[in-house]
Amino acid sequence: MVANLSAIRNDFPILQRSLPNGKPLVYLDSGASAQRPQVVIDKISEVYEQYYSNVHRGVHQLGDRVTTEMESARSRIQNFIGAEHPEEVIFTSGTTMSINLVAQAWGRHYLKAGDEIILNEMEHHANFVPWQVVAQEQGAVLKFIQLTPDGRLDLEHYQSLLSAKTRMVSVTGMSNVLGTINPVEEMARLAHEAGALFFVDGAQSVPHLPVNVVESEIDFLAFSGHKIFGPSGIGVLYGRQALLENLPPFLFGGNMISEVHLDESKWARLPARFEAGTPAITQAIALGTAIDYVTELGFDAIEAQEHHLSQYALEKLLAVPDLEIYGPQELAERGAIFSFNIAGAHPEDLATLLDRRGIAVRHGHHCTMPLHQHLKIPASVRASLCFYNTTEDIDALIEAIDFARQRLRLA
């Protein structure tokens, strides 16, 4: 576990605050957006106060400094995910943009009628709708991996779907509802044996689990800054260099061109080809700082702390009368995400009453309508934990659930 949890929590100023109703904040919504440590907040201020300028455009000292800072962040992200080249790290606005970039640039260029893309029903809409749209445009076919009763991907069914027609397999590293940790290495190997590419939506997994894109044979990886303790409005697309070099641009304008003439334009080399316009400069630099923070803390400590919290949360939640948790019950197969319902309680009512006790959770379909339809429920309540949470936070959640059950006359 983390060596000094109290010191870690002190790194996150927002965790020290009380809410307007006087209740201390218990933040259990890191799956939607994680909080930021002080070093990230300070880095954002530093950029704006000391050397903000545009990048890759000027020879003045500010422009040189800010360009160096942003490219340094790119290189640290490259090392963090185990990529071979910094040019394989493309800055985007987030996971959604990263997936759309590949779905549109690759899909429109390479997909043809009858080609197949493999998805599954646990995917976030961001890893569902872009493929759905490009498949409809190109006449491609979507195939869906079946889920087991406990919310895992059925790998035998996955293997049966793979064929010479399969062009892309896209899967979440960790379900944002079920917490399911998917076996991406094995799935990537099987996809490549069939001649397909393999895309990982790492929005939920990258902040909590180590990733090495080369060792795992991942062709494309997407993740968001705001879920890994960095700013919003910044994300990453990793793509193997050979693949990115053969993709047409997705957006057009400044920075992504090498030449512009009246009758034609030529595209810049990587990564600029996919970074049209002025980028989210400060956000990219601060994302590098967030990556440094996670690296210094270490995934051994992160995983141990979150495993401890998951074990405690699972035990406490399962003891609540009429509460159903969705997803695997084996801790080795899930992350620290717990979506649940209580019989007789509407998820919005339950989340509202939890908020009155200072507990921040999410309710709704969590951008996974197909999954909720599969589960035959309209919505759920989700508590998503992080290494900065404590067992006392979970105790507060259980006490708040008991309060809600009494108010809803379920106890």
User: Average of pLDDT values for 205-228?
Assistant: 99
Asked if residue 405 lies in contact with residue 411, where contact means CB atoms within 8 angstroms, the answer is yes
pLDDT over 70 (residue 87)? yes
Residue 304 has pLDDT above 80, yes or no: yes
Give Cα separations from 403 to 163, 355, 356 (angstroms): 53, 11, 10
Residue 268, judged by CB atoms within 10 A of its CB (0-12, 13-18, 19+), counts as middle
Residue 200 and residue 171 in contact, taking contact as beta carbons nearer than 8 Å: yes
- Selected residue with higher pLDDT from 409 and 140: 140
Active-site pick, 41, 301, 304, 367: 367
What is d(CA 38, CA 95) in angstroms, rounded to the nearest whole number?
Answer: 24
Is residue 367 among the annotated active site residues? yes
pLDDT exceeds cutoff 70 at 287: yes
Confidence tier at 410 by pLDDT (50, 70, 90):
confident
Q: DSSP letter string over 375-403?
A: HT-S-EEEEE--TT--HHHHHHHHHHHHH
Residues 54-65, mean pLDDT to the nearest whole number:
91
Residues 6+ apart with CB under 8 A from 342: 320, 322, 323, 324, 350, 401, 404, 405, 410
Say if residue 300's pLDDT is above 80: yes
* Phi-psi sector, 56: left (phi>0), alpha (psi -120 to 50), beta: left
Q: Taking 70 as the threshold, does the pLDDT of residue 1 lie above it?
A: no
Categorize the per-residue pLDDT at 58 as very low, low, confident or very high, splitting at 50, 70 and 90.
confident
Structural domains of the chain ordered from first start: 5-29+298-408 (3.90.1150.10), 52-296 (3.40.640.10)
Stretch 311-321: mean pLDDT, rounded?
97
